[in-house]
Amino acid sequence: MILDRDNSYATADDNREEEIGLLHEDLDEEWDFERGKAPHRNYKYTETSVTGYERQNVVTKTYKSRFWILFLAAFLCWIHTLQWSTWGPISESMNAAFPGWGPSTVALMVNWGTIMYVLCVAPLCWGMQRYGLRAGVVTSAAFMAIGTGLRCLTKQTPTFTILCHICAILVGGASALALTTPMVIANDWFPQNERTTATAIILGISQLGSLGSFLEPTFIRLPGPGVTKEDIQDDVMNLVYAGAIMSAVLLLALLVYYPSKPPKPPSLSSTTERVEFIPGLASVIRNKKLLLIVAIYGTFVGPPVAWITVLNFSVLPLGFHQGKAMWMGVTAVLVSSLSPVAAGRINDLLQGHIKTLIVTLMLGTTAFCYWFLLISYGVVEVTEWQVYVSTVGICACNYAAMPLFFEVAVDIAFPISDILVMGVMTAADCLVSTLFLTAYSIPNAGYLWIPSTMIFTSGIGIIPMLLLKFNNTRALIDNQIRVDSPYHK
């Protein structure tokens, strides 16, 4: 096949020609600038005596520095998650040491992250698309460094509480950039057979930030005999000092070396001209399939992600105090940091089965939520191992599906910018998380509504997901070149 820039074809293999020709006819019909979509302009082949075809103008290459880019992005997301979920695991200590730090204050600290994400995602994603990945991650790290630094100024209330709110607001603003980077890095730095894995690694390490927060009770003392309010306050200040130091180190590392893109692209699809932000946003609004996957993702992912940050309140009525809740959270975070990596790698190795993987994980999440519901209502005897397994199962299945959802969304939206797609996806789960956490502030509501709500949000999207049809657009483009181009031998 010879495909020139005027999209003309010459037959080389009838079967392959028909498949690829139909693909590009579809692209030519749907992707145009007038509708806010960009045509694919990177195909150009000439026949050669050795390979049959040679692609001109686009040479792909991978660089070892991609792992440094991946590491710093993962560290950024890890610190963000740690700061976002700081207060839930030590809620009993905070309530004893700092007046006014009840469940509503702790939930609001977490909720600031989701609120600020929804408010900031559009302008900050526009800025990162315009000025590049480096500008986005450095700005995100700067927000967190400033916020965590402000908390170190004093431990006197109410000033400390006010500074914690300011920090939570800045961390929430940083999340609009930090949480949209995984797919961008995967697309710009990694080849096709590593993309989902790269995204999953960042998400998995990000989840380990919750591990750090769940380990806080090991050095934040509980109120009790021989423990004064000042002792707990000193422990908390040591915690915030550590957060400020880590944020400052990360910012320095990003300033030293963090390019936006490699000199040469890792795949052909990564060279595709992407739609500008405003036309891309208009295309998102018109894309019914994308809006459906955004709605499914937001309702499925949002509640469990928020729930794990305030797990204490759900297991306390079952007889598990801060200490045991800590180890439940630690176990859940460890497993759910590995599950997205496993799911991502399976998807990279067995391409073409992503819908089956997603639906299986949605069914698993719903089943574990139902198990936790039975425990909460006393239908099943409350035992430690059952609370552990159901909690871990909810988080593991939920997090494992996240990189798969991102892959589907980017393929459906292609060639809309990954930054915009990730921003819209994450805004959806943040919006649902905000509504979920707001319910904690309802007086005398209790906590039995939590598992039933998560059953509903986890299961409602299963049938629409089964009915959704989509193409793996980037894989089709990249696989064509992998076969025909000498650069992929």
Contact between 98 and 161 under an 8 Å Cβ cutoff? The reply is yes
Report the candidate in 214, 260, 211 with the shortest Cα–Cα distance to residue 72: 260
b/e per residue 29-61 (b: at least 16 CB within 10 A) = eebeeeebbbbbebbebeeeeeeebebeebebe
* Domain 66-478 in CATH 1.20.1250.20: yes
- 226-271: pLDDT as tens digits: 888 888 999 999 999 999 999 999 999 999 999 988 988 887 777 7
Please report, rounded to a whole number, the percentage of residues in the chain having pLDDT higher than 70.
84
Peptide bond into 99 cis (omega under 30): no
Where is pLDDT greater, at 216 or 455?
455
- 357-382: pLDDT as tens digits: 999 999 999 999 999 999 988 888 88
* Structure tokens that stand for 6 in this block: 């005027």
Peptide bond into 304 cis (omega under 30): no
Contact between 339 and 440 under an 8 Å Cβ cutoff? The reply is no
What confidence tier does 450 reach under pLDDT thresholds 50, 70, 90? confident
pLDDT exceeds 50 at position 9: no
pLDDT at 210: 78
Contact between 107 and 437 under an 8 Å Cβ cutoff? The reply is yes
Cα(34)–Cα(21) distance, integer angstroms: 23
* Structure tokens that stand for 437 in this block: 């956490």
Contact between 410 and 418 under an 8 Å Cβ cutoff? The reply is yes
3-class secondary-structure state, position 188: helix
pLDDT at 464: 93
Question: What are the residue boundaries of the structural domains of the chain, listed by start?
Answer: 14-59, 66-478
Helix (H) or strand (E) holding 457: helix 449-459
Cα(442)–Cα(177) distance, integer angstroms: 31
- 326-347: pLDDT as tens digits: 788 888 888 988 999 899 888 8
What confidence tier does 476 reach under pLDDT thresholds 50, 70, 90? low
Output the CA–CA distances (angstroms, integers) from residue 281 to 31, 32, 176, 423, 432, in the order listed.
15, 15, 16, 11, 20
Cα(333)–Cα(35) distance, integer angstroms: 43
Contact between 192 and 284 under an 8 Å Cβ cutoff? The reply is no
* Structure tokens that stand for 106 in this block: 């702790």
DSSP string, 39-75: PP----EE--TTTS-EE-S------TTHHHHHHHHHH
Output the CA–CA distances (angstroms, integers) from residue 44 to 40, 53, 62, 239, in the order listed.
11, 10, 21, 57
Q: What is the pTM of this model?
A: 0.69
Contact between 416 and 275 under an 8 Å Cβ cutoff? The reply is yes
Report the candidate in 311, 396, 339, 330 with the shortest Cα–Cα distance to residue 110: 311
- 27-41: pLDDT as tens digits: 333 444 333 333 334
